[in-house]
Amino acid sequence: MEKNELITEILKKEIVKALGCTEVGLIGYTVAKAKPDDVYSIKEIKIILDKGTFKNAYSVGVPNTGKFGILPAVVGGLLGNKENDLEIFKDIKYDEELEEFIKDKLKIEVIDSEVYCKVYIEADKTYESETKGSHSGKVIDETLKEAYKNLTLKDFIDYLDDIPKDVINLIKETININNNLSIPEVSEDFINLNINDDILNNMVKKTVSGVYNRMIGVNKPAMAIAGSGNMGLVSTLPIIAYDEINNKDEEKLIKSITLSSLTTIYSTYYSSYISSMCGCVNRGGIGAVSGLSYYIHYNEENIINYIEESIKSFTANLTGIICDGGKIGCALKIASGVFGIYLSLFSKVPYNNGIVGKNFEECIKNIGKIGKSMKSVDDAIIEILKSKEL
């Protein structure tokens, strides 16, 4: 497959609309695929989840329920239409009686796996469904992923010279949907911050607001990138915020968001869709740094050098922040991430520093190695979550 054709196919598969945290969406969608006609005939629901899905769904808001966590995601799935996929909670009217009926019938098992959710429902018979490999169950062929991992930063930048019309439309939709999720602005009783730098102030407030709104379950979709809505927000909103304060140049914005999406996906393929390391900061941050550096140095001959220097600085700074699940507190991690993104645009760290790579590709590979080495961290996090008395 020709390089640009491969890039286009990957973008179309990895940028998808999702309502609420993708992990509760995964649970709700899988439940909806298995539910009986009469939900009050249910005797037991058993859900088997991978570690990442369990921790990301444990404390996060579920749209149209006013509640947080796995139980309302299950109830929402029983109320939802499976045809809505990862927008499973769209248009549901939450049923407190159904929650009360279901809560003692719900059993959860956590396994070591990539993205995975299996549901068994005992009613008049056994109903079951499974979603694995991705949040939607639509798995990208490994040969395509491997081919994509062999691309270079130059390949991505060359792609920007002639972006296909359907990809431009996808990126425009991503900009509009993710920007809309940053409204309303995050409440001051959560974070009261006024930075004396208009660009950074706008970047932090817009990105934190988008993530906060998503984590409390605001009834607005996000465009997820590489399996994560928050990663989609982090890889787009800082660039959108920068564009608002500066030129409002649509062509530059579209190209910068496209590059950010490409490098976010590339980083994910060298790590995993859900990991012990915070993907929103580490992988979404890589995307935002790439896109912002491209935006700032647009049309300069040595643009690759500028982008790589920024990536090196970002690699030296925040790599290793843990993922302890989807929750309101993610918005604070993202605030730290945006500071790190901004700082990396104006700093230089040499190659001999720690895990910094000699170029873009090596930085990504090194971050991926660190993420995979942290796998056992999930066990400690899940143990802590299970010990909580809520």
**Residue 242 in contact with residue 233, Cβ under 8 Å?**
no
pLDDT in tens, the chain (390 residues): 799 999 999 999 999 999 989 999 999 999 999 999 999 999 999 999 999 999 999 999 999 999 999 999 999 999 999 999 999 999 899 999 999 999 999 999 999 988 999 999 999 999 999 999 888 888 889 999 999 999 999 999 999 999 999 999 999 999 999 999 999 999 888 888 888 899 999 999 999 999 999 999 999 999 999 989 999 999 999 999 999 998 789 999 999 999 999 999 999 999 988 888 998 999 999 999 999 999 999 989 899 999 999 999 999 998 889 999 999 999 999 999 999 999 999 999 999 999 999 999 999 999 999 988 888 898 899 999 989 865
How far is residue 239's CA from residue 231's CA, in Å, rounded to a whole number? 13
Ordered domains of the chain (ranges, CATH): 9-14+139-387 (no CATH), 20-132 (3.30.1330.120)
Q: What is the side-by-side strand order in the sheet with 44-50? A: 106-111, 44-50, 116-122, 126-132
Q: How many CB atoms lie within 10 A of CB 143?
A: 9
What per-residue confidence (pLDDT) applies to 375? 82
| 3 state DSSP class of 218 | coil
Q: The pTM is what?
A: 0.94
What pLDDT, on the 0 to 100 scale, is given for residue 188?
85
Radius of gyration of the chain (CA): 20
Instruction: Compute CA distances 111 → 45, 55, 129, 173, 376, whole Å.
Output: 17, 12, 17, 36, 13
Question: Which of 21, 278, 280, 330 is the catalytic position?
Answer: 21
- Rounded CA-CA distance 378/384 in Å is 10
In this prediction, residue 390 carries a pLDDT of 58
Is position 21 annotated as part of the catalytic site? yes
pLDDT at residue 195 in the model: 84
Q: Contact at 8 Å (CB) between 215 and 327? A: yes
Is the separation of the CB atoms in 245 and 342 below 8 Å?
A: no
Alpha helices in the chain (DSSP H): 3-14, 22-34, 51-58, 70-79, 96-102, 142-149, 153-159, 165-181, 198-215, 229-234, 237-245, 250-269, 279-296, 303-318, 330-344, 360-373, 377-387
Write the burial class of residue 40 (CB in 10 Å: 0-12 exposed, 13-18 middle, 19+ buried): exposed
C-alpha to C-alpha distance for 219 and 228, rounded to whole angstroms? 17
